[in-house]
Every structure is written in C-alpha cells, then in structure tokens.
Amino acid sequence: MDLLLSPQLLAAALIAGALYALVALGLNLIYGTMRLLNVAHGELVMVGSYVASWSFSLLGLGPWPALVLSPVAAGLLGYGLYRGLFRRLLANPALSQRIEANSLLLFFGISIILQNLVSLLFTATPRGYQPFGGAVIDLGVASVTGGRLLVLVVAGIVTVAAMLLLRFNTVGLAVKALIQNREAASLAGIDTEKLERWSFIAGFAVAGLAGALVSMVEQVSPFMGFPYMIAAFVIIILGGLGNLTGSLIGGLILGLLETYGVALTSPNYRSILVYGVFIAVLLIRPQGLLGRTRIVR
C-alpha cells in the first residue's frame, strides 16, 4: 500500500504518461486528418533524439535549443516526404482509395530506411547525455532529475495547448471538422489539401519534439523507435482513432499502468501489461474509450 501511495512513483507515472501522450499526439493527428498509418512514427522519435544528442554533444548546445532543432528537422523531413511522395499518392484517385494499406507499406519501408541509414552513419552503439549536468530537483514530495522535469513540463504544455487549439482556435476547429468528415469540411469552404499538408508536417514535428525529450532521459540508438511506435498505437486505440483528446487520456492511462504495474510486479511483465490492455480494449471497446462511432470520410 505504501508503494501505491508513493509520490515518487506517481511523479514517474505522470512523466511517462505525458511523454506517451505527446508521442501519440503526432500519430493520431496524421491518421485523423489523412487516414495514413504511420508505422515509421517511432523512427521519427529516433530522428528527433539524434538531433538533440548531436546538438548537445557535437555542437555544445544546451537542452533548450534541442527543443527547437529536433521538431524543425522532423518537420522538414515530413515536408519533403509529403511533397515528394504522399501528395502524388493522394492526388491519384485509384491509389487514394486504398490509402491506409498503401501508407502502411510506404511508412514501413521508410522506417527500415531510416533505421539503416542512421546505423550506417553513426553505428548502432547506444549513446546518451545528461542535460543540466544530471542535477536532481527536490519538489518537496518527490525528487526528479532536471531532464525528467523538463519532459513533464514541455510534454504537458504542448499536449494541453494542442487540446485548447482544437477547441477554441479557428484553425483547430477546421482540423476537427476535417477529422470528422473530409467532404463536409471541404463543402464548408475549408482548404482540406492545405490543412492535410500542415497536419502531416505538424505530426512529424511533434514526433521530433518527443524524440528530443526522450533523449534527455534515455539512451539513443537507431532501433529505439519500435517501443514508442507500439505505445503510440496502443494509446490511439485506447483513446480512439482520430480522437486527439483521447491521445492525452490514453497516454496518461498507459503511463500509470506501466509504472505501477512494473513496480508491483516486475519489469519483465511490462510488455504483457501493455499488450494485455491493448487486446482487452480491442475486444471490449474497439472504438476506444472515448470513441463513439466510426469516422467515415
């Protein structure tokens, strides 16, 4: 019982949940607006982590510039992919009818290319760094490192800001309309192609930002993206495909479940816990905890 009431454990769960919510936000944004299954999402997190690591170890920059450089690099990668590949795919009526299956294969190929390209250039040796010199900050009821506190603050602010943007801003409301029904949004005068392009880039940029935060608390390697890709898919299934608010709630649920589950059992049971919840939600409520009806476009 003392373990369950530990503020230290609760802080660890909130940090993990906030990071998971941010990772899933980019994936759900792209799927919700474009119906593209980005199975390379974990590799985008990896790219953001490497950019942050380079900026710290090679350029001698602190952790703050990495929070700008990583999303910019990932966003530019997204822009290049959209202009060079996905815009043509979406413009072809025959191919766009099978967009989910096509995007799954394309992103799978992209993930393999990114993994091997980074391995070839920088070897597969894990590397890491300590932002803020590894200093530990006392919060009164719990102590966390500066890197973990930065993860909690930045991931929390960005995720909540995205929720508020979708609820109160004109652009955010247009994104919500696009997620709910593309044809109706187009008839209402929304430039759906432009909005899809920027949603695609924003999804990549958010993954890059998440990668920068991950690099501050974990080691970086070319194959680090797979667990985050799985976690992101579990979260969007929990919260509902295309439901961005569900990403926040699903991320917090997964963070709490993983942290407390591992603390009460063993780290060896982590995968069983995560996949167990994933399968249970698919069996009991396949539309997700916040999902209502299947989105039709």
Domains in the chain and their CATH numbers? Answer: 2-284 (1.10.3470)
Q: What is the DSSP letter of 6?
A: -
Render pLDDT for 161-207 as a digit per residue (tens, 0 to 9).
988 888 888 988 898 888 888 888 888 888 888 899 999 999 999 99
Q: What is the DSSP letter of 61?
A: -
Mean pLDDT in residue range 248-275 = 85
3-state DSSP: the chain helix, strand, coil percent, rounded to 5? 75, 5, 20
Render pLDDT for 220-233 as a digit per residue (tens, 0 to 9).
999 999 889 888 88
Distance CA 13, CA 148 (A): 11
Distance CA 135, CA 145 (A): 6
Structure tokens at 79: 């822009």
Highest average pLDDT, of 177-186, 222-231, 235-244, 269-278, comes from 222-231
Own/partner long-range contacts of 160-168 (Cβ < 8 Å, ≥24 apart): 160/248, 162/25, 162/244, 163/244, 163/245, 163/248, 166/244, 166/245
Distance CA 159, CA 30 (A): 15
